[in-house]
């Protein structure tokens, strides 16, 4: 059935039989047809229980289309004819969500789930709520893309991707093509504003069919349903999206005006009554045991579903309790994702490939006999480095176990059990004697465990530097494919060349138009505004990541000061030890690096710190060390927030450390803190000091 299609009868709105352009009022008839078509689309796409055949449905749809063609003034934005056939957009517009779209903390076992419930109890007890009587709702955690759907006065108005949670992209044109998405609310008195949240995904059968069509047409195939859904939802032309069937499950309500609900469970019922697709097996549960049993049940059923799930989302239902529990970082305290263990399969290792990284070290990857794991085909898998490869003791020609964990890149785990016992195993793989990209003889520096391509002009290394530069500088649209294209054309060899690209020339490349070329050049231009610390990171200095880049920028303030600094001065930067300081110094002294810096400086990138000087914010002048896993904040989030509060994060505990923030499985750093008498904070304590409050929570001093 075509997008926007479905079938008639039963308790369908009356009027199916009236002829097109008949005696009746065309406006009334059009309204009737819209209702009918949408009703039958709902029966078909949401309930999976059609009442009429495709032919009857098509007749209704055609009648509506003909009527609208005759009376264009009758076309309404919520007409099912508008699902497809919308005009392509020239660009995806960024939109700010009315309320941030949050993420979820994980639980990997029944113990972790129970610990989550206990943390909620403790938190509520501090709020004076002793016996919260939770009601839980367990839902499949669909492996797709989160989206937000806005309805104003009952009409679907705008749909956006999650993006970074604050700002997403307007993909209304593509969302309209999803048959299960209501274009209007079937109710007399719709709320003035309603935000529905859900997950867009591609079902496994649709994914397999799409890849087969693409393979037959000689096109590249998608890696997994999630990538395929992500690529589809970001298409500019809704006709392309309509050809790649997307599906939708709704799992919540965001901002509303004119709707009063008491709980998440009620919200799901409300959505279901208003024809939104809510998964039929969503359950309301009263006890932890029931929740654990339900999660395990989903885990068992995982392989027999029509879509991929990577876990179960458990939410506290009562909105009042949700409000009291609040949010930590980006994760609500009142919800958690029970993550399934990864899926594995056995396949033949055909060979090992090697790719030079940014600094020349050769990274191995596994070339596999294609194998299906959890609904997708895997041909390649990462092997982190030479050591990892040796430790795994896998040999080309033998069977290996591969693992795919949810949304991450597949990995090779080990030889398959039956091969490890063989007496005559093939020889272990060796790193190549020549760089597979530039053919320069490889080297293994003394004391290093990694083989390297020593050629700084190696195209492989340049490619890595350019793609990483584009990522660090957040240049929208400049991905791996374009870097390859621009390098192949000879337009780009160093990051500075990016700023000299011509929109006119790019526009002539296949896949580009004037608008897209201009957008790309504008995105590159915008990156000139990135702060000094990020520029230092983007330059590709070994050992200088985001944090060290920022610390160096804050300490030295200008590039000239940094270039003039001796290793001893660089060592004064938080997190930089003597060896690292020497290495940074030497890399900065390299004539090529100097040339790149001068080139970029001439182009107008920032080589001067403009942020607030050191010594401001509640953690100004404080040094913190993070260890273990915090219940909610990731390492990166905690680091971001400490730095935003003026503090520094370093890797090792010393007498100069002000606080050690310890999470679960904290190890030697915690022991050392206790030994030195450094204050220890848990996550709540960290949140307190970030706000400038005195630390509370467990504190060992």
Least separation in angstroms between residue 309's CB and ligand IVH is 8
Place of tokens 């893309």: 145
313 or 538, CB closer to ligand IVH? 313
Does the annotation count 141 as an active-site position? yes
In the stretch 295-314, what mask flags binding to ligand IVH with x, by CB under 6 A?
------------------x-
**Number of neighbouring beta carbons within 10 Å of residue 417:** 10
Which position among 337, 381, 501, 538 is part of the footprint of ligand IVH (CB under 6 A)?
337
Q: Which of 102, 503, 644, 688 binds ligand IVH (CB under 6 A)?
A: 102
Q: Positive or negative, the Cα torsion across 431, 436, 439, 444?
A: negative
429 lies in the binding site for ligand IVH (CB under 6 A): no
Shorter beta-carbon distance to ligand IVH: residue 99 or 212: 99
DSSP per-residue string spanning 225-240: HHHHHHHHHT-S-HHH
> Is the distance from CB of 104 to CB of 331 less than 8 angstroms?
yes
Kindly state the smallest distance separating residue 689's Cβ from ligand IVH, in Å.
26
- Which residues, at least 6 apart from 404, have a Cβ–Cβ distance to it below 8 Å? 342, 343, 344, 373, 374, 376, 378, 410, 411
Cβ atoms within 10 Å of 109's Cβ, excluding its own: 13
- Tell the smallest beta-carbon distance from residue 431 to ligand IVH (Å): 38
Nearer to ligand IVH, 141 or 173 (CB): 141
Nearest to 430 by CA among 380, 384, 400, 395: 395
Which lies closer to ligand IVH via its Cβ, residue 190 or residue 406?
A: 406
The pairing of strands 106-107 and 335-339 is parallel
> Which range touches ligand IVH (CB under 6 A), out of 102-110, 172-180, 188-196, 575-583?
102-110
Count, in order, helices (H) and strands (E) of the chain.
Answer: 26, 22
| CB 255 to ligand IVH: min, Å | 14
User: Is residue 268 near ligand IVH by the rule CB under 6 A?
Assistant: no
Determine the Cα–Cα distance for residues 573 and 649; give it in Å rounded to an integer: 11
- Rule CB under 6 A: choose which of 7, 162, 461, 555 binds ligand IVH: 162
Q: Which of 51, 78, 139, 609 binds ligand IVH (CB under 6 A)?
A: 139
- Residue closer to ligand IVH (CB basis): 78 or 199: 199
Kindly state whether residue 146 participates in binding ligand IVH, applying the rule CB under 6 A: yes
Query: Under a CB-based contact definition with an 8 Å cutoff, are residues 243 and 97 in contact?
Result: no
Is 413 a residue that touches ligand IVH (CB under 6 A)? no
**137 touching ligand IVH, by CB under 6 A:** no
Among the listed ranges 99-107, 118-126, 592-600, 647-655, the one in contact with ligand IVH (CB under 6 A) is 99-107
Per the residue annotation, which of 141, 339, 392, 669 is the catalytic one? Answer: 141
- Minimum distance of ligand IVH from residue 543's CB (angstroms): 32
Per rule CB under 6 A, is residue 149 in the interface with ligand IVH?
A: no
Rg (CA), the chain: 29
The footprint of ligand IVH on residues 224-263 (CB under 6 A) is 251-252
Point out which span in 72-80, 97-105, 356-364, 601-609 binds ligand IVH (CB under 6 A). 97-105
Closest CA to 546 of 626, 615, 635, 472: 472
Q: Which residue has the tokens 């000239």?
A: 560
**Kind plus residue range of the DSSP H or E element containing 138:** strand 136-142
Strand partners, 146: 199
Asked if 467 interacts with ligand IVH (CB under 6 A), we say no
Is the distance from CB of 161 to CB of 226 less than 8 angstroms? no
d(CA 150, CA 198): 12
With respect to ligand IVH, which residue has the nearer C-beta, 313 or 412? 313
Which helix (H) or strand (E) segment holds residue 301: the answer is helix 288-301
Site membership for ligand IVH, residue 95 (CB under 6 A): no
Tell whether residue 458 is a contact of ligand IVH (CB under 6 A).
no
Among 171, 314, 335, 584, binds ligand IVH (CB under 6 A): 335
Residue 660: closest CA among 617, 692, 689: 689
**CB of residue 313 vs ligand IVH: minimum separation in angstroms?**
4
Report, in Å, the least distance between residue 146 CB and ligand IVH: 3
* 138 in contact with ligand IVH (CB under 6 A): no
Q: Write the DSSP assignment of 151-201 as a string of letters.
A: EETTEEEEEEE-TTSSEEEB-HHHHTT-TTS-SB--SSS--SEEEEEEEEE
Residue 97 binds to ligand IVH (criterion: CB under 6 A) = no
Considering only residues 545 to 604 of the shown chain, the ones binding ligand IVH according to CB under 6 A are none
Q: How far is the CB of 27 from ligand IVH (least distance, A)?
A: 40
SS3 of 387-455: the string is: HHHHHHCCCCCCEEEEEECCCCCCEEEEECHHHHCCCCCCCCCCCCCECCCCCCECECCCCCCCCECCC
1 part of the interface to ligand IVH, by CB under 6 A: no
The contacts of residue 617 (CB under 8 Å, 6+ apart) are: 644, 645, 646, 647
In the complex, which residue's CB is closest to ligand IVH? 146
Q: Which is nearer to ligand IVH, 337 or 402 (CB)?
A: 337
Quote the DSSP letter at residue 533: H
Binding mask 44-83 for ligand IVH (x = CB under 6 A): ----------------------------------------
231 phi-psi bin (left φ>0, alpha ψ -120 to 50, beta other)? alpha
Using the rule CB under 6 A, which residue among 179, 332, 364, 540 binds ligand IVH? 332
> Which of these, 508, 488, 509, 224, lies nearest to 374 by C-alpha position?
224
327 binds ligand IVH (CB under 6 A): no
Residue 332 or 360: the one with the smaller Cβ distance to ligand IVH is: 332
Does 264 engage in binding with ligand IVH (CB under 6 A)? Answer: no
Q: How many CB atoms lie within 10 A of CB 407?
A: 11
Which of 40, 123, 141, 669 binds ligand IVH (CB under 6 A)? It is 141
Q: Which of 79, 103, 467, 573 binds ligand IVH (CB under 6 A)?
A: 103
Residue 62 phi, psi dihedral angles, 5° rounding: -65, -40
Which of these segments, 98-106, 202-210, 409-417, 607-615, binds ligand IVH (CB under 6 A)?
98-106
Q: Which stretch binds ligand IVH (CB under 6 A): 96-104, 117-125, 185-193, 396-404?
A: 96-104
147 vs 472, beta carbon nearer ligand IVH: 147
631 part of the interface to ligand IVH, by CB under 6 A:
no
SS3 32: helix
Quick one: tokens of 366?
């596994």
Q: Which of residues 196-215 bind ligand IVH (CB under 6 A)?
A: 199
Give the binding site for ligand IVH (CB under 6 A).
Answer: 102-104, 139, 141-142, 146, 162, 199, 251-252, 313, 332, 335, 337
Active-site positions read 141
């Amino acid at each position: 059935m075509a997008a926007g299609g479905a079938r008639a009868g039963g308790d369908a709105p009356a009027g199916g039989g009236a002829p097109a352009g008949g005696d009746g009022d065309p406006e009334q008839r059009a309204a009737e047809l819209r209702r009918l078509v949408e009703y039958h689309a709902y029966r078909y796409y949401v309930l999976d229980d059609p009442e009429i055949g495709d032919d009857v449905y098509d007749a209704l749809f055609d009648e509506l289309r003909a009527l609208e063609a005759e009376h264009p003034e009758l076309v309404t934005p919520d007409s099912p004819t508008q699902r497809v056939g919308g005009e392509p957009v020239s660009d995806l517009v960024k939109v700010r969500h009315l309320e941030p779209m949050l993420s979820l903390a994980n639980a990997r076992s029944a113990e972790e789930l129970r610990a989550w419930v206990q943390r909620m109890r403790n938190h509520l007890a501090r709020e004076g709520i002793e016996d919260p009587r939770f009601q839980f709702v367990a839902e499949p955690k669909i492996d797709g893309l989160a989206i937000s759907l806005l309805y104003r006065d009952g009409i679907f108005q705008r749909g956006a991707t999650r993006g970074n949670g604050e700002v997403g992209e307007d993909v209304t044109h593509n969302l309209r093509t999803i048959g299960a998405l209501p274009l209007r609310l079937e109710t007399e008195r719709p709320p003035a504003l309603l935000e529905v949240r859900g997950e867009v995904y591609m079902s496994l059968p649709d994914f397999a069919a799409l890849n087969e069509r693409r393979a037959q047409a000689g096109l590249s195939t998608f890696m997994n349903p999630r990538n395929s859904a992500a690529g589809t939802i970001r298409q500019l032309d809704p006709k392309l999206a309509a050809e790649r069937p997307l599906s939708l499950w709704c799992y919540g309500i965001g901002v509303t005006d004119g709707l009063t609900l008491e709980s998440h469970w009620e919200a799901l019922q409300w959505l279901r009554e208003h024809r939104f697709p809510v998964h039929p097996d969503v359950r309301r549960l009263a006890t932890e045991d029931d929740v654990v049993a339900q999660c395990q049940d989903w885990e068992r059923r995982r392989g027999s579903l029509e879509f991929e799930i990577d876990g179960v989302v458990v939410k506290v239902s009562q909105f009042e309790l949700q409000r009291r529990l609040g949010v930590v970082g980006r994760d609500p305290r009142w919800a958690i994702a029970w993550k399934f263990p990864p899926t594995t399969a056995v396949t033949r290792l055909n060979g090992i490939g090697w790719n030079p990284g940014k600094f020349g070290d050769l990274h191995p990857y596994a070339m596999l006999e294609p194998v299906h794991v959890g609904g997708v085909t895997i041909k390649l898998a990462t092997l982190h480095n030479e050591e990892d490869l040796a430790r795994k003791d896998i040999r080309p020609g033998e069977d290996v176990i591969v693992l795919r964990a949810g949304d991450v890149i597949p990995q090779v785990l080990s030889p398959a059990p039956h091969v490890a016992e063989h007496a005559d195993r093939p020889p272990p793989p060796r790193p190549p004697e020549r760089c597979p990209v530039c053919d320069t003889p490889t080297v293994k520096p003394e004391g290093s465990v990694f083989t390297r391509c020593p050629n700084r002009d190696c195209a492989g290394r340049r490619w890595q530097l350019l793609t990483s530069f584009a990522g660090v500088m957040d240049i929208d649209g400049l991905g791996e494919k374009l870097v390859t294209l621009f390098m192949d054309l000879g337009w780009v060899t160093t990051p500075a060349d990016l700023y000299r690209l011509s929109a006119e020339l790019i526009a002539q490349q296949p896949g580009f138009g004037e608008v897209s070329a201009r957008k790309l050049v504008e995105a590159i231009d915008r990156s000139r505004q990135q702060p000094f610390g990020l520029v230092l990171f983007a330059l590709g200095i070994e050992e200088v990541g985001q944090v060290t880049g920022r610390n160096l920028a804050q300490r030295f303030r200008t590039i000239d000061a940094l270039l003039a600094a001796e290793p001893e001065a660089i060592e004064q930067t938080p997190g930089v030890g003597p060896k690292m300081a020497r290495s940074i110094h030497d890399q900065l002294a390299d004539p090529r690096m100097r040339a790149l810096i001068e080139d970029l400086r001439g182009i107008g990138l920032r080589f001067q710190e403009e942020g607030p000087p050191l010594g401001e914010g509640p953690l100004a002048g404080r040094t913190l060390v993070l260890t273990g896993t915090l219940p909610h904040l990731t390492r990166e989030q905690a680091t971001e927030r400490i730095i935003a509060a003026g503090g520094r994060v370093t890797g090792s505990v010393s007498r100069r450390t002000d606080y050690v923030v310890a999470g679960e499985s904290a190890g030697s750093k915690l022991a050392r803190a206790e030994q030195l008498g450094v204050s220890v904070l848990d996550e709540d304590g960290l949140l307190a000091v970030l706000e400038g409050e005195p630390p509370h929570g467990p504190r060992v001093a």
